[in-house]
A = this chain, B = another copy of it.
Amino acid sequence: MSTVRIAGDQSMHFADRLLAACKKKGNAVCCGIDPRWDILPLEIRQRHPELTLEAMAAAFEEFGMRVLDIVAPLVPIVKPQSAFFESCGPAGMLAQQRVLAKARTLGLITILDNKRGDIASTAEAYADAALAGTQFEGRRHPVWNADALTVNPYLGRDAVEPFLASARRCEGGVFVLVRTSNKGAGQFQDLRCNDKPLYQHVAEAVGAWSAENVGACGFGDVGAVVGATHPAELALVRKWIPNVIFLVPGYGAQGGSASDIAAAFRSDGIGAIVNSSRGITACFKPDEPKWEEAIERATRATIADLQR
């Protein structure tokens, strides 16, 4: 299945589109779509009782689609987590593609969270699959067709380059891991290299890459992933790279609070998007019949919490 981009999408710089979507919805919440079998409503699980990967994929797709219908009027951005779709094999990847396609038709900005990273033509293959489309015999074929993806910086600039090139071909975006939200993130990211931590070197590189293609809003098309679970580091990174949009995971279930996240935003109140996955999509017990209402309430509560 291939889908086409919504007309007009590609005429605007990614950062301008992202901030316009946040302004329109009145918040900067990104709803993570992280389907796991154990969090699915029993109602959905029972409709897919075959205990095959294909059945799991169908259940993930159904859940993802229904979550999209609930959150689309409320939040500007969704972030499907590719690992869970991949866990169902090829059928799961088809579900991922369909969820992304529906998100786009609902007018949501889509970030495919797949943390890719490789070199040369291999990186190009990942990048074009996520963003500009796979090119062969002179035509581009949309694959995941997301607005942005997440990228791991360990391999260095020349490995990130194909992701930037693909994004720039379709007014897409790239979010580079800087300081991740896990407890052990510091093992390498905090190592002091020439008197500053590794994640500062990465942040400064992201700042430079982002400055290559800046939108009317003043932000570039390369963002930084900085976890809400490290508020002090969040404030530092914001200071180092003021014109980079942050994607902030770690709010809610992982322990980051709204006050922890405040430092991600610039003093003018913009420049970050805050992801919540489990706090929204796993906010109910599987046997809760009114789980859709629970998701809507949790989404509204997340928005309100982050606006305080």
A174 at interface, CB cutoff 8 A: no
Q: Is the CB of B205 within 8 A of A198?
A: no
B177 touches A134 (CB 8 A): no
Say yes or no: A184-B198 contact (C-beta < 8 A), given A52-B141, A134-B88.
no
- A134 adjacent to B53 (CB under 8 Å): yes
Given contacts A51-B137, A52-B141, contact A125 B188 (CB under 8 A): no
Any chain B CB within 8 A of the CB of A25? no
- Encode contact with B along A169-209: 1 for CB under 8 Å, 0 otherwise: 00000000100111111111101111000100110010000
User: A265 within 8 Å of B by Cβ?
Assistant: no
Stretch of A110-118, A237-245, A287-295 on the interface side = A110-118
Q: How many copies does the complex hold?
A: 2
Chain B residues near A205 (CB-CB < 8 A): 187-188
A123 contacts B by Cβ under 8 Å? yes
Q: Which residue, of A89, A144, A186, A198, has the highest number of chain B Cβ atoms within 10 A?
A: A89
Chain B residues, Cβ within 8 Å of A36: 121, 125
Residue of B51, B116, B120, B177 touching A155 (CB-CB under 8 A): B177
| Interface contact B187-A157, CB-CB below 8 Å | yes
Contact A86 to B126, CB < 8 A, known contacts A119-B182, A191-B194? yes
A28 within 8 A of B: no
Any chain B CB within 8 A of the CB of A90? yes
Instruction: Tell me if A90 and B86 are in contact (CB < 8 A).
Output: no
A93 within 8 A of B: yes
Distance in angstroms between the alpha carbons of A182 and B160 in the assembled complex:
11
Contacts A37-B137, A90-B93, A156-B185 given; does A125 touch B84 at CB 8 Å: yes
How far does the alpha carbon of A183 sit from the alpha carbon of B217 in the complex, in Å?
Answer: 34
Contact present for B86 and A143 (CB under 8 Å):
yes
A270 contacts chain B at the CB level, 8 A cutoff: no
Identify the closest chain B residue to A182 (Cβ). Answer: B119
Within 8 Å CB of A51, what residues of B?
A: 136-137, 139
Given contacts A87-B125, A90-B91, 9 further A-B contacts (CB under 8 A): A56-B134, A87-B134, A119-B182, A153-B188, A154-B188, A155-B189, A156-B180, A156-B185, A158-B183
